Structure 1
Amino acid sequence: MHTLVLVLNKADHLEDILNGLMEIGVKGATILDSQGMGSAIMVGDGEDSSFFGTLKSSFDREHPYNKTIFTVIESEELLHQAMNKIKKVAGDLSQPGEGLMFVLPVSHVMGLAANK
């Protein structure tokens, strides 16, 4: 089992991603409102050190908030289908400010209904 985590900077893709995941058989996901460190620094207290001033110029001001989606996926096959579906909607996430996708192994789960 795996946990697939997507930090989606362009929240307008959220509905298409969730619909795509449902189409391939992902049964559920949790969506959190989130904010990256760079965005939090940009809206900070206004006292810029030279380090934070430099950082502020490199972050995406167009998308200061994002959505973090995570889901537990049982099979390797479904995991790859989900990642491909996300890339089809959101792009390959290789450009700064697009988002971040990663996978974590899951050793134990409680609270998920068994497949019948």
Structure 2
Amino acid sequence: MHILFLVLNETEYLDDILAAFVEVGVKGATILDSQGMASAIASNVNRQIPLFGSLKSFLDSSRPYNKTVFTVVESQELLDKAINAINSVIGDICKPGIGLMFTVPVGNVYGLPKNTK
């Protein structure tokens, strides 16, 4: 089992990613509203860090919030399909400002329904 995380800065892709998940067999995902550290520091009225103060003008024009999507997948095959689904929607995740995707192996999962065939 694996967990797939996607921190999506370009939130307009979210609905298409979720639809692509359904198409490849991902049965569920959790979506959280999130904010990056630089954005949080730059938007802090009491900021005392000069480096981040200089980033404020850059961050004012960017999206201050993002979405973090995560899903537990049971097989490497489904994980690969989910990753390909994301890439088919957003294109190159390495382009600046798109987001970040990573996976983590999972030892035990509790609370998911058993697969009934």
TM-score, length of structure 1 as denominator length: 0.90
Partner of 1:109 in structure 2?
Answer: 109
Query: Matches of 2:27 and 2:5 in 1, distance apart?
Result: 15
The answer to whether the 8 A contact 2:43-2:56 is kept is no
Q: 2:71 is matched by which residue type in structure 1?
A: T
Alpha-carbon distance change, 56 to 95 in structure 1, aligned in 2, over 3 angstroms: farther
Offset at residue 9 of structure 1 (A): 0.5
Query: Matches of 1:37 and 1:69 in 2, distance apart?
Result: 17
Q: Which runs of 5+ in 1 are unaligned?
A: none
Q: 1:90 is matched by which residue type in structure 2?
A: I
Query: Matches of 1:36 and 1:84 in 2, distance apart?
Result: 25
Q: 1:64 is matched by which residue type in structure 2?
A: P
The answer to whether the 8 A contact 1:4-1:103 is kept is yes
Offset at residue 57 of structure 1 (A): 5.5
Query: Matches of 1:70 and 1:20 in 2, distance apart?
Result: 14
Quick check: 66-75 or 36-45, which moved more? 36-45
Partner of 1:3 in structure 2?
Answer: 3
TM-score, length of structure 2 as denominator length: 0.89
How many equivalent pairs are there?
116
Alpha-carbon distance change, 71 to 50 in structure 1, aligned in 2, over 3 angstroms: same
RMSD, aligned α-carbons: 1.7
What are the within-5 Å matches in structure 2 for residues 1-116 of structure 1? Answer: 1-45=1-45, 47-56=47-56, 59=59, 61-116=61-116
Identity rate of aligned residues, in percent? 56
